[in-house]
Amino acid sequence: MKAIVYQEYGAPEVLKMTEIDQPTPKANEVMIRIYATTVTAGDWRLRKADPFMVRLFFGLFKPKYQVLGHELAGEVVAVGDAVKKFRVGDQVFGSTKTDTGTYAEYYCISEDMPLVHLPKGWNYEEAASIPVGAQTALHFLKQANIQNGQKVLIHGASGSVGTAAVQLAKCFGAEVTGVCSTGNVEMVKSLGASHVIDYKKEDFAKVAEAYDVIFSTVGKTNYAASKHLIKPGGYFLACDASAKDYGVIVRQAFGKLFGIQPVHQVIGGLAAESKDDLNTIKDIIEEGKFRAVIDRVYPIENIVDAHAYVEKGHKKGNVVLAV
């Protein structure tokens, strides 16, 4: 099968189209013919080994796993003997969690992974853009026990996680404020944000407002810069937390051991992805309360251009690869 392979860390040009062996599903796996995948920030960071710590988990001198990609949408073309949830011909979408490998024509994945049937009326490109960003947003918003009527600020509201967070917070009944650049203001409003702060014209940290939840989705702010805007008992969420935020989290954990209740809850780290969460998102989609936000669609042969564009950090929502 055709796949995009990289055998060394580096610039987008290390990504090459080549032929590799087609996988065979294990007893509990399905094999999917992939029609769409995505380029995420996680993908280019793995490609570039940025930060350096990536090498400790994915290969010190060269990549241990040579096919990138975490999201997929496609058709089930084979099933293992023990598979019960899917059958050949099913249209599905999902994510690989910490595994990679969707920059390819075929991928084998356990039926128990975050993999569900395509939302009604959606195409493969739309569905491929959903799993990682939406599951990340849902994970953190649930951690904050978000409730109807709360005020939530989404920093980085125009990215993959941010566009999902705006829509999901709105679904939960929150009053949403988004922070983004000038060119994305109207788009963020269209997703359900009641207020939008253009960071090129205004410093969100200087607004005269207090929030129940502040969600940093792209690591461009941290708890220290935001805490004065958070109500007592509120939450600061960071899916791309800074080292300073992790220090706060560690101190918070030690404080709990001695019964010290912090003024705010600071939550960072990696999001847990699950079939249940992806089904929840699918249900919200089919209720008409969530839409795909796709900036660009590249044919997979143009992988170098796609990675170069995403690495610039200015994409609106998601960048999709048509396989």
**DSSP code string of 218-245:** SSS--HHHHGGGEEEEEEEEETT--HHH
pLDDT in tens, 55-110: 998 999 999 999 999 999 999 999 999 999 999 999 999 999 999 999 999 999 99
Q: Max Cα separation, the chain?
A: 60
pLDDT at 244: 67
Token output for 138: 């849902």
pLDDT at 263: 84
- Termini Cα distance of the chain: 12
pLDDT, average across residues 121-132 = 98
Is domain 133-268 given the CATH code 3.40.50.720 in the classification?
Answer: yes
Among candidate residues 187, 199, 133, the one with its CA nearest the CA of residue 164: 133
Rounded to the nearest integer, the mean pLDDT of the chain is 94
Task: Report the range out of 166-180, 216-230, 254-268 with the highest average pLDDT.
Answer: 166-180
* pLDDT tops 60 at residue 184: yes
The full set of domain ranges for the chain reads 2-130+292-322, 133-268
DSSP 3-state of 319: strand
Question: For the whole prediction, is pTM greater than 0.75?
Answer: yes
Token output for 227: 């805490």
CA dihedral 139, 140, 146, 152 (to 10 degrees): -140
pLDDT in tens, 190-220: 999 999 999 999 999 998 899 999 999 988 8
Among candidate residues 251, 284, 277, the one with its CA nearest the CA of residue 266: 251
What is the second-level CATH architecture of the domain 2-130+292-322?
Alpha-Beta Complex (3.90)
